[in-house]
Every structure is written in structure tokens, then in C-alpha cells.
């Protein structure tokens, strides 16, 4: 039987693994951290992405068109909130990326919603990324 402390540890481990895969460019692991029907809302994208496959296809477009690469990512201010078999993970992220235009460091806030699966794992089912303002 799961306990709130154990659930928090498991969600924290799932979030840490997701962020590490993103940071290290391990795309199979990164996209594998999401449920196939996960949704994505990004401030830099005009439409909601309706599946992990749709997000992965967009990522490939970024690579093909702009030589997009993640060079580093730091996660701070992490908070995990539980709501039954759902957990909301929020944090601030500082990500350095490289494109054909050069390097850029972006400051954002991110919410990732995790849902406990039948096997006890915690796949991400929704991600929302917004620009973080100074202050």
C-alpha cells in the first residue's frame, strides 16, 4: 500500500529522472517519462500538443530546422502536491539551449502533472511551461 511519504519520494524520483533525461539529451528516456496521451502547453508554441508523439515530432522539427540542443538545465524551488492518485510537481527551470542562432538561457516556470499508473509508476500526463518574469 502506498503512503504519502512513499508517493512523494516516487514522484520526486520520477521528476528527477525526467529532468535529468531532458538535461542530458536522452530523448528516449525523456519522452518515455510521459504517458502516450500526455498533453503539453508551452508559452513558445501556439497550440496545445495532444500527445507525447506530437511533442516528439515537434522536437524533431526543432532539431531539423534550428539544430536545437539542450546544453543544461537547473531545477529549483521544487514542490510536490498530492491529490489522490495524481501529483502536481512545480519548479523553476533555467535552461541553456543551442540553436543555429547561438546559445540562449531561458528562465521558466513549469508544472508537470503525474498520475499513478496501475503498475505503481508515476508517468507524467501533462506539462505546462511558462516564461518566468524577473522579480
* Residues 68-84: tens digit of each pLDDT: 999 999 999 999 999 99
pLDDT band with cut points at 50, 70 and 90 for residue 135: low
pLDDT value at 133 more than 90: no
Kindly state the average pLDDT of the residues 111-125. Answer: 97
* Residues 17-32: tens digit of each pLDDT: 999 999 999 999 999 9
Q: For position 60, what pLDDT does the model report?
A: 97
* Residues 34-57: tens digit of each pLDDT: 999 999 999 999 999 999 999 999
Q: For position 6, what pLDDT does the model report?
A: 86
Q: What are phi and psi of 4, to 5 degrees?
A: -55, -40
pTM of the model: 0.93
pLDDT value at 134 more than 80: no
Amino acid at each position: 500500500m502506498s503512503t504519502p511519504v512513499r508517493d512523494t519520494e516516487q514522484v520526486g524520483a520520477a521528476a528527477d529522472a525526467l529532468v535529468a533525461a531532458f538535461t542530458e539529451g536522452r530523448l528516449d528516456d525523456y519522452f518515455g517519462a510521459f504517458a502516450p496521451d500526455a498533453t503539453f502547453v508551452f508559452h513558445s508554441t501556439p497550440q496545445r500538443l495532444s500527445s507525447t508523439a506530437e511533442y516528439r515530432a515537434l522536437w524533431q522539427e526543432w532539431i531539423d530546422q534550428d539544430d536545437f540542443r539542450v546544453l543544461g538545465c537547473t531545477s529549483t524551488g521544487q514542490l510536490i502536491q498530492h491529490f489522490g492518485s495524481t501529483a502536481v510537481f512545480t519548479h523553476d527551470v533555467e535552461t541553456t539551449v543551442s540553436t543555429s542562432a547561438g546559445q540562449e538561457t531561458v528562465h521558466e516556470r513549469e508544472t508537470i502533472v503525474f498520475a499513478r499508473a496501475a503498475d505503481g509508476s508515476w508517468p507524467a500526463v501533462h506539462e505546462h511551461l511558462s516564461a518566468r518574469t524577473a522579480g
